[in-house]
Amino acid sequence: MKLREIAHSRTGDKGNISNISVIAYDTKHYPLLREQVTSERVKAHFAGVVEGDVVRYELPNLSALNFVMTQALGGGVTRSLALDAHGKSLSSALLDLDIEDNPSP
Amino acid sequence: MRTIRIGSGAGYSGDRIEPAIELAEKGDIQYLVFECLGERTVALAQQARMKNPEGGYDPLLEERMRAVLPLCAAKGIKIVTNMGAANPEAAARRTAEIAKSLGLSALKIAAIVGDDVLDACKDGDLPIMEFDGTIKQLGNRLLSANAYLGAEPMAEALTAGADIVITGRASDPALFLAPMIHAFGWAMDDWNLLGQGTVAGHLLECAGQITGGYFADPGYKDVPDLARLGFPIGEVGEDGSLVITKVAGSGGAVTARTCKEQLLYEVHDPRQYFQPDVVADFSQVTVEEIGPDRVRVSGGRGHQRTDTLKVSVGYVDSYIGEGQISYAGPGALARGRLALEIVRERLKLTGVETSELRFELVGVDSLHGAEVSTRANEPYEVRVRVAGRTENLREAVRIGNEVETLYTNGPAAGGGAWKSARDVVAVASVLLPRDLAKPQVRFVGA
């Protein structure tokens, strides 16, 4: 299934850094997010967009992850050549990530 | 326990105006905050002030003030806003004139000055955080340097009796923290209270983004009546307890989900959300739905503030030239790609000097690039977009021209060409020793 089925997401911007929250609709899916939505996968998913690092922060109280992606906004919101200079649409792209329902033990 | 209700009347400079009127009318609020200052807005406003010494404040100041002043005056609702942009004193004087013309001469209006720290930054030749270089190295491209002030001067103005407080650059959450500090007498070193107050301010500062705006996704996250979206109210207790709500009957929704999304919006490390007044810690925050459109948010904490203030530095970065043209019907994608190839070659042939170029098809790969975008089906229409960064306006103009000439020189049936060339005012940041910014409260007579 797609990440979209179990989580919602919002993108924020500061300078050339984009952050994307990934929040489980249901607390029971938080472990799936932790296991499968890794920094490495997010970095790979945004090949060609994110040139820097992807750092993940965990918020168990909210069943949420927060990804901070550097060099992600075409040189910075205020100078980017991109149509979506803020990267507001990145959250929707991340929800297209494939998630295994029953990951093998 | 004492409680105040703070309404958030705008989340950016161009935001809708009726939701603020609705808050003043039906929100049972004591404070109305307008957050209207984007990252680079001060730099642009500084340019406006250089042309007109009485200008440089928010262009919608007059419209917003006229819309809410009569109601706010009648109900004793205090207004706090950063619509002062590059000229808070002129904004305060203009607001006083508006108040007078509405027969509200008794209103006390305060401007907060001192966020302009250009001279201090130049003296220190501070290093820029985003790239290698210093303030001085920006030379004559440097436009402005404004420190993110904290809540203290705004709280001081409220305590001195201000009905309206107009600031320039200040931290957005501080606009909300100021009424809390004023109303409850919070100590400026009670880090946990300031941290929880920052949670409240952060949740409220983007207005509709916590009541269902920037959220709806049909079939997954449905939101009622976005055309009449209500703006949020923060119900804050003197112990920092917080409930986010909105005017009953307004559009939108306040739910645990909208609150979680907004809590993490523009946050990096949730344990360290740097503010002028506190380093807030969002990592232990919990949200709980306690009624329809009522969410309790608890657990914000804080640590001692740092010795520096973040300063937003505006500078002329470069120029951007852009052109667009559309193709439709059978073969649209192939003609769009051909058009891009032609422009790519033309820019080379004619020697347009650029430091960066983008060639893309809107509807196909413009948002996330060719690698991320899927291309399962051929779209009915595509829009060619070419954008490039140049050193000067003359070169920037040539980029759009090369797209426009596709009309008569390019693939079949290209329509709706559009072009632009503009200078780019960008912002970077430096950290300034805190004591070098000297904010002051100045009252103007109504």
Q: Decide if B429 and A13 are in contact by the 8 Å CB cutoff.
A: no
Smallest Cβ–Cβ distance between B261 and the set A10, A48, A77 belongs to A10
Say which amino acid occupies B263: L
Greater pLDDT, B299 or A103: B299
Over residues B32-44, mean pLDDT: 92
Distance from C-alpha of B391 to C-alpha of B95, rounded to nearest angstrom: 40
pLDDT one-digit tens code per residue, B331-372: 999 999 999 999 999 999 999 999 999 999 998 888 888 777
pLDDT one-digit tens code per residue, B198-254: 999 999 999 999 999 999 999 999 999 999 999 999 999 999 999 999 999 999 999
Over residues A76-89, mean pLDDT: 92
Distance from C-alpha of B175 to C-alpha of B366, rounded to nearest angstrom: 37
Q: Which residues contact B379 (CB under 8 A, 6 or more apart)?
A: B332, B333, B363, B364
Lowest mean pLDDT among A46-60, B39-53, B252-266: B39-53
- pLDDT at position B374: 66
Q: How far is B160 from chain A (nearest CA, A)?
A: 35
- pLDDT at position B40: 83
Smallest Cβ–Cβ distance between A83 and the set B268, B367, B371 belongs to B367
Rounded to an integer, what is the distance from CA B439 to the centroid of its chain? 22
Instruction: Calculate the alpha carbon distances from B19 to B16, B194, B250, B267 in Å.
Output: 7, 28, 9, 26
Distance from C-alpha of A59 to C-alpha of A89, rounded to nearest angstrom: 23
| φ, ψ for residue B438, nearest 5 deg | -125, 80
Number of C-beta neighbours around residue B247 at 10 A: 22
Please give the share of chain B, as a percent, with pLDDT higher than 70: 99
pLDDT at A22 over 50: yes
Distance from C-alpha of B208 to C-alpha of B8, rounded to nearest angstrom: 9
- pLDDT at position A105: 52
Does A19 contact B at CB distance below 8 Å? yes
Tokens 């030749």 belong to which residue?
B125
pLDDT at B446 over 50: no
Query: Comparing C-alpha atoms, which of B386, B381, B382, B416 is closest to residue B400?
Result: B386
Cβ-based contacts of A26 with chain B (< 8 Å): none
- pLDDT at position A103: 59
Please give the share of chain B, as a percent, with pLDDT higher than 90: 92
Please give the share of chain A, as a percent, with pLDDT higher than 90: 89
pLDDT at A17 over 90: yes
Q: Decide if B260 and A23 are in contact by the 8 Å CB cutoff.
A: yes
Question: pTM score > 0.90 for this model?
Answer: yes
Q: Which residues contact A46 (CB under 8 A, 6 or more apart)?
A: A54, A69, A72, A90, A93, A94, B368, B372
Q: Decide if B286 and A13 are in contact by the 8 Å CB cutoff.
A: no
Number of C-beta neighbours around residue B317 at 10 A: 20
